Copies of this chain bind each other. A is one copy, B any other.
């Protein structure tokens, strides 16, 4: 048995989310968070570079997920097909079951400007990882960048709508709806 309870980062995350839900993120302090998790302030900053970061754990898996997305895509698919099928098959399963938690978290993030800003980094990381994947598939720099931005937009918008709805429609359905709408917007005839 160790000197410390395991899962310090996760306990800090839970404590921070609970406190933020109760009092608002701006109103709580790092000492408050660490007190609830049974740790010290100094320890907090060893796990997270700043106060906001504690709400964005688990985000580090996103580039990994994007790598999976492209590894699992058939080589003859067009960029939009890669986006549509891969997000449906690889991303959606990862989010299933997290809906209630993600709704709570999103509520906190939306209520704080600093957190909203921090959240935009997630999209940026997705787009970066995606661009590398599309370049590996043979697209040139410009096309790879644009395709990855499209993918990031689809994830962002689809997950947002998935969390918005009262009925829990499968994320995979919403992803397909979103990619279809994207095609329509770009190819719409005058």
Contact = CB atoms under 8 A, between A and B. Distances in A.
Interface of A: 76-81, 116-118, 120-121, 123-124, 139, 142-143, 145-147, 149-150, 153, 156-157, 161, 177-178, 181-190
Given A142-B161, A142-B177, 18 more contacts: A76-B190, A78-B188, A79-B185, A80-B188, A120-B120, A120-B124, A139-B185, A142-B178, A142-B181, A143-B181, A146-B157, A149-B149, A150-B150, A150-B153, A150-B185, A182-B186, A186-B186, A186-B187
Nearest to A134: B185
Contacts of A182: 146, 186
A77 B184 CA distance: 14
Q: Which 9 A/B pairs are nearest by Cβ-Cβ distance?
A: A120-B120, A149-B153, A186-B186, A78-B188, A78-B190, A79-B185, A147-B185, A142-B181, A146-B185
